[in-house]
Structure 1
Amino acid sequence: MIDKVVATAAEAVADIPDGASLAVGGFGMSGVPVTLVAALLEQGATDLETVSNNLGVDGFGLGTLLAAGRIRRTIGSYVGNNKEFARQYLAGEVEVELTPQGTLAERLRAGGAGIPAFYTPAGVGTLVADGGLPWRYAPDGSVAVRSPAKETREFDGTTYVLEHAIVTDFALVHAWKGDRHGNLVYRRSSRNFNPDCATAGRITIAEVEHLVEPGELDPDEIHTPGIFVQRVVDAAGVEKQIEFRTMRPTAPDEES
């Protein structure tokens, strides 16, 4: 078997060119491949197209690439919690293809499974299916690019819309554990878009918190088989952040 461990994150992303498409795991601040994103920011690739649930938050994850003006287009399902993302979208600086969250996950999964397209009821009767969603605004606030209408078809009396699979040039994912052969295990909520992104990339690069030797992972606990992963980076001690910290009020009898 091939040892897929790369010495540094910088080396792992060195060949990502300008204009590349990237499937990037994570949801909010959970399971984001921040080590790889930081290395890509330093590397300098620009004019990128990203596929991710969201573009991180201001100053974190993909939000850093966005703020540096390095993302040309993104496919995702959520714009909130990132003021710079909203500003660039409304100013016409970035093109945004908004996609229902479940549809986005299935488009990535289908791409990894070799399925070119699929029918889903999500979005039927809305601009998602009928077309007209603003993909890009003009500087004057008018809509410069609108989404096209999609094919629909009826099955057993129910209308469905055809959605195309997503396959990207590269995928960047974050895993809790991984071995030198590229087998990956995700932990709790970090098992979000990471498994789907991992299979959708032609070249998948995984950062792992705990790098283990082949044979140390129980085959039954592996979420992404190593056949889908080309490069592994040891990201021990990676910084984690909390998107929202909620504290309950202190009860009177708990006050000191």
Structure 2
Amino acid sequence: MKEVLTSFTDAVADIKDGSTLLVGGFGLCGIPENLIKGLRETGVKDLTVISNNCGVDDWGLGLLLENKQIKKIMASYVGENKEFERQVLAGELEVDLIPQGTLAERIRAGGAGISAFYTPAGVGTKIAEGKEVRVFDGKEYLLERAITADFSLVRAYIGDRHGNLIYRKTAQNFNPMMAAAGNVTIAEVENLVEAGDLNPEHIHTPSIYVNKLIIGKQEKRIERKTLAQS
């Protein structure tokens, strides 16, 4: 049975200054929002965060940006966040922009124990600078290194006390691969059931990848709402 914590600040207490984090979610969908808030309360700084994006100004990873806790962000999309833009232009934040498919595969490779792989994405662009290029079947490919991290923060719809996780619909996004690529994975679950209650065929993340569990009610904010005029 995995440890089931009751405090979000306790859940992230082992994350220290300078840690590297993988944080699940896409936009605001599937983000471990309560673990992020707990991390904000701890005040840890100089974090390197790997995520699809960096939240919005007042929610998700945007809360850590606002609190000046992130030193570097590795992401595939950086819109929707004015504070992000301000910090980048002011030289306060280091950014590594990565094509989305490459980011996903680098994380998946890290969780699978694959050190590197070749991809055609980014050939002939600034992304290729300083990287090995090889030709396969007459086409150029870049060598990309796998990504792992000290900690992974993920969000699941259902978990059992062993740590098996099921994600709901598009909240699967980056969560399953990130759960496998962190040295320590902390899972925020909306619903916790007993061991044996989950159908093994429906499990997305096996318990072997999960170290800590915590139950968290989600606000599930909408990133941008557009209403049609009646």
Give TM-score, length-normalised by structure 1.
0.88
Give the whole-Å Cα distance in 1 for the aligned partners of 2:38 and 2:25: 17
Give, as a single letter, the amino acid of the residue that structure 2 aligns with 1:68. Answer: N
Matches within 5 A, 1:144-183: 149-183=130-164
Give, as a single letter, the amino acid of the residue that structure 2 aligns with 1:240. Answer: K
CA positional deviation for 1:9:
1.5
Conserved? CA contact 2:109–2:115, under 8 Å = yes
The 3-state SS of whatever aligns with 1:36 is helix
The 3-state SS of whatever aligns with 2:68 is coil
The 3-state SS of whatever aligns with 1:169 is strand
1:248 aligns with 2:222: no
1:77 aligns with 2:45: no
The 3-state SS of whatever aligns with 1:211 is strand
Q: Could you report, residue by residue, the CA deviation over 1:28-86 in whole angstroms, capped at 9, with x for unpaired residues?
A: 11001010000011011111000001110001011000111110011101111001001
| 1:253 corresponds to | none
The 3-state SS of whatever aligns with 2:4 is coil
Give, as a single letter, the amino acid of the residue that structure 1 aligns with 2:148. Answer: V
CA positional deviation for 1:223:
0.5
CA positional deviation for 1:91:
1.1
Give, as a single letter, the amino acid of the residue that structure 2 aligns with 1:180. Answer: R
Give the whole-Å Cα distance in 2 for the aligned partners of 1:245 and 1:89: 26
Give the whole-Å Cα distance in 2 for the aligned partners of 1:10 and 1:215: 29
| 1:115 corresponds to | 114
Instruction: Could you tell me which runs of 5 or more consecutive residues in structure 2 were left unpaired when the two chains were aligned.
Output: none
Conserved? CA contact 2:2–2:211, under 8 Å = no
Give the whole-Å Cα distance in 1 for the aligned partners of 2:39 and 2:208: 24
1:195 aligns with 2:194: no
CA positional deviation for 1:12:
1.0
The 3-state SS of whatever aligns with 1:227 is helix
1:185 aligns with 2:184: no
Give, as a single letter, the amino acid of the residue that structure 2 aligns with 1:185. Answer: I
Instruction: Could you tell me which runs of 5 or more consecutive residues in structure 1 were left unpaired when the two chains were aligned.
Output: 132-148, 251-256
Q: Could you report, residue by residue, the CA deviation over 1:205-245 in whole angstroms, capped at 9, with x for unpaired residues?
A: 0000011111111111110101000000011x221101122
| 1:63 corresponds to | 62
Give the whole-Å Cα distance in 1 for the aligned partners of 2:124 and 2:22: 28
Give the whole-Å Cα distance in 2 for the aligned partners of 1:100 and 1:178: 31
| 1:209 corresponds to | 190
CA positional deviation for 1:167:
0.6
The 3-state SS of whatever aligns with 1:5 is strand
| 1:226 corresponds to | 207
Select 2:218's aligned residue among 238, 242, 245: 238
**Percent identity at matched positions?**
57
Give the whole-Å Cα distance in 2 for the aligned partners of 1:248 and 1:44: 41
Give the whole-Å Cα distance in 1 for the aligned partners of 2:171 and 2:54: 16
